[in-house]
Amino acid sequence: MGAVVVLATMTLGAFAGVAFMDGLTDTSPFTSVVPDHGHTALVVGGIGAGGVIGLTLPMILFGMVRGSDQDPPVGPGSALLKVLALLVFGVYLLIVSVIASQVGWLLPQGVTTLVAVFALGFSWMPLAMVPWEKLGLRGVVGDRLGSRHRSDSQQAD
């Protein structure tokens, strides 16, 4: 059941991100910043930001209500910090998509879309190397999966 909820919120988040970014480029002062051939780069950014937020937010919420003896539930303060970090990451992806859309001034739409996919796909790599544990932002998925799949003999070591 949890996997269905997470996949549904990820898909709905991606659609919401696309609708948000598409609406932002059509009816706002933001229109003059983005070239005509760069609109698809913003759509790619909306897919990325909405999908990541839709994927991770239910897992944080599930982490607040589920727990065991070895793995206690996530507290409200820690969950709020994780949600804020998630929103900052979503804004970061949207900013990268705006920067990638600027290639649309020089290149055709198909190439701009390709550049946006690679820019958004690889832009988070430096963020993956930050020692988030030292900042108090440990991952929900890695900690929970790692602690549940250990056997008793591995935990005793």
What would the pLDDT profile of 60-83 be if each residue is shown by its tens digit?
A: 888 888 877 777 787 888 888 888
CB 50 within 8 A of CB 84: no
With CA atoms as reference, report the closest residue to 75 among 85, 65, 83, 84.
Answer: 65
Task: Provide the pLDDT confidence category of residue 141 given band limits of 50, 70 and 90.
Answer: very low
Contact 75, 136 (CB under 8 A): no
Q: How many domains does the chain have?
A: 1
Residue 113 has a pLDDT of 86
Domain of residue 24 covers 2-156
